[in-house]
Structure 1
Amino acid sequence: MAQLRYALYVRKSTESEDRQVLSIDSQIERAHEMFHDVNIVEVIEEKHSAFEPGKRVKFAKLIDDIDAGRIDGIIAWHPDRLSRNEEDAAKITYRVRKGILRDLRFCSYHFVNSPEGIMMLQLALSQSQYMSSKLGADVRRGMNQKLKLGWRPGLAAIGYLNVMDGPNHIIAEDPHRFPLVRRMWDLLLTGLYSPDRITQIAETEWGLTTLRRRRLGGTPLVRSAVYRILRDPFYAGLIRWDGEIYKGRHKAMVTLDEFKKAQQILDGRTSCSPGRALITRDFAYRGLITCAECGCQYTAEVKKNHSYYHCTRRRKKIFCTQRKNIREEEILSYVLGVMRQHSIHPSFREWALAYVAESKGSAGKQDAKVKKSRAERLQQLRHQIDRLLDMKLDDLIDDDAFRKKQRSMKESIEELEGQLTAAEEAERRAGEQTRRALNLAAFGLDVLQHGTNRKKRMIVNAIAQTFTAREGKVSLIVRDWIVPFSKEVRGNASKIGPRPARSRRVRTNISSDFSSTQRKTAVSAAVLSSWQGIVDEVRTRLSEAPMTFSLPEFDLLGDLVDPADPADKS
């Protein structure tokens, strides 16, 4: 036996099933101590699981060496190191029985090469296979139970943390990363930033890194990781697992509407798709202007301390004759002229919001009746389901009739609940969009004049349905919801007082002063009627706008909130 050639086979899978087994170095050291007088000609280290056949390349080579007569015996820590499945177990026992594999030695198991010993070896290998199958079933059962409870198995996504809540493992917000990842969504939803640019901003401006876990993590996000984040419904409160979608109990980072809009932007199925080119320099209108002749994007470059825009002419099959450059100052002057036609005095915003609140109160009475009717019907259906269950328990109804009736009632309940949720969401969205539209009309002009390039780009993207250029001139068509204010209305609004200076404090003081009854009554009834008609028309158009459409947010001082700038986050 001393002349036999042995291969020392050691394996420690990185999977959870083998974490209790000695490490590879410990297995090798212990085997050499126990079998120091044995002729070990090769040490084979394997790091793949033995649960599935055909996955271990080095094990397959070991079998080939045995069949070729280069190896006579195997040394291993335990039979379960050689196999945890029936196919690989049969390869070992068959070769032992035929004499091709002449000997087996184990550090924690005694093998005798006899019919009884082979039978006991088969039992040990079968036990290993059974334990692996049982462990896998237990793990899957635990995962399914966790999913039913609303928690995602495994490590939490970036922006969240795995924490203990008493005896339970839950997923909570990461206080540092949650707001930063939310800003990534905000940038995408503006329609002005590509995932590449978002990745760049997250790394260079925010310093966002993955969570440090022992030897892993603590590194900036790569482009593919950002794409996975922006595609993951987990951030919308859902859990995608094994092809199924589950409702999660963790706090959603984005709404379902925002998530759907983000997917449309990533798929290029919306007009708010990101600019084609990665924005490496912060030009105000790059990625917004389209050539009216060839349809390509306009890019920008700096010449003699001025920013100039020109067509990229990237479509090779279309010959574009547009060669004129447009200075950024000319574009700004044109955009300011368009914005002035759709601006309101900041003081009017306060009155308009009050009017919207009053109108909502009047309309709310009718909506309340509809909600009450639906709620009563919902309560009635739930009561009927309870009565139906009592009838089933008393054997007053057969199983088929019970299931059919119960399914019908549950479908009605789900439909009513969906109607109530949709009505509440539509009401919330309409109010939010109207408020943001009034803010844009009141403060957008000031941001265009004094804001950063990123904020100017957000304003233009909010108002522009199309923004094209031809022969060195730009042309902007505003979105459908925007209503131009007549000269008469703007003129009467100016009588309220001079346009506030750039100081945000002055602007706020004038607005609060105009909210007084005395100032409101100073405006004629005809002008007030005109204002009401305009506000009502804006509200109507906004309610008919696509659910994916969203307006930028302004802070209490009338400044635009830039999601890329942490300083703009309150």
Structure 2
Amino acid sequence: MEIKYCAYFRKSSESDDRQALSLPAQEDEIKKLASKLGITLIAAFKESKSAKKPGRPAFNEMINLIGQKKINGILVWHPNRLSRNSVDSGAMIYLMDQGLLQTIVTPSRSYVASPTDRFFLGFEWGQAKLENDNKSVDVKRGMTAKAKMGWLPAPVPEGYKNTPQKLMGYRTIVPDTKRFPYLKSCWYSILQGKRPVEAYEEGCRAWKEAGGKDELICRSGFYRMISNPFFYGEFEWPKGSGNWYHGKHKPMVTKEVFDLVQTKINPNHKSLRSKHDFPYRGLFFCGDCSCMVSGSRKFKFNRSANSPIPYDYYRCSHKSQKQSCIQPPISKSVINEQLEGIVKSIRIPKEFLSWANKWSSYLETEENKQEIVSVVNNSNDISVLEKRSALLLEKLLDGTITDAEYKPAKKKISDQITLLKNTENVLPRKVSYRKLLDEMEFALTASQKFRKADDMGKGRVIKDLGSNFLLKDRIVSIHLKNSYYVFSKVSDWSISEKKAFELTKYDDILSKKPDLVPSNPMWLPG
């Protein structure tokens, strides 16, 4: 059957200034490939669209032409240019199953409508989708981490600006020195009795009189501003999640001013946030009914101080409709006492941390060496196979072998090359020694940090310990992270119980690296 080829070029961004070299580079590669293979292209499809979702116009046009039997071969730079989603990938696999799509040719290899090649194509597209999905997860994780640091991971409201001149990961939020004072004055105009629309118009006039060329803020943006907690220093991320963070940006107004403005706008307004900060609210759950534990503040009059003294208590929120909960409240001081005991239990000696740094550095170096050797061996094997492929093509061209002999031999070599390249992508993931060392450093100082921290600081320390924080019968329980759990079970770091035969497997390492010999043999892995 005669194969009628088309070319497909795609770059991910729809913006002209991003990946500007991507499409020309792909076109050059495909032109060289077509010339080398003696292929005449009857059509070319080019677009700047993400492939993570179906619905690309040029791609759909190409699929329709394949369905109409006008095209049955595709030249493309890489399979991930064709698809990064399961719908489009499945459509092309199905076209191959039906015999409508005969081959997909890339500069590195060709895929025909055989079961093996369809499997490898599915693997390539699955890997492309995995990369795309992982990017989404990593971006969300990074944005949440930024929110925890106190910076809004989203476009900032009017009156503020980001710092794009700083390196990625170090960008912050600063006041827009031009607009900030004029917008701030609008808040106080409302407090003085002006209606919001009057305060808005007054601020815009002052901005224009001061030489402002563009608009200070649009009317709808102004109404969003005077009801946005960001302006007094707090923000919710993600929006609607109920997770509130204290921002590190400079507040435009205080919380008191914000609440007063809300009452001016809406007399029935209730404060968005509690007037008290409870470090363990939202962290603990009831061990009886699994409902969230909430905090409350009570005042008791102290005669000697002649003033009321605040006391914080935590208790089950009793929101379960399936069962009634009778768990008693517990005071903050009792929780702090129990948490301090848990934190103290995960302490490690400084000598152990110092030795662990050296030991992990040695292991990481050895793993890197093994990985380099594996990659080099793989590259050498691929180079040998590519030479064999080139030699096979020469034999076909000079008539030493027939086309019927060439195709299966070429396919066998191509499959071996693909298998080796895929092996490079699935090398064993290395142990994260840095993460383990960070946890050790935290364990070394956690007790001191907890003791010296204020209430909110204590909550941040506890969050790093583990998960599944429960309160039941006035007893605190925490599911510690694996490393912290191990540390908590070591009652005496000076005990040495390793037997001689258990240490012999480290003789070669310790004889070559005497600085790795621990002061206690128990520290060596079992």
Q: What is the TM-score with the length of structure 1 in the denominator? A: 0.43
Q: Which has the higher contact order (CA 8 A, sep 6+)?
A: 1
* Higher Cα radius of gyration: 1
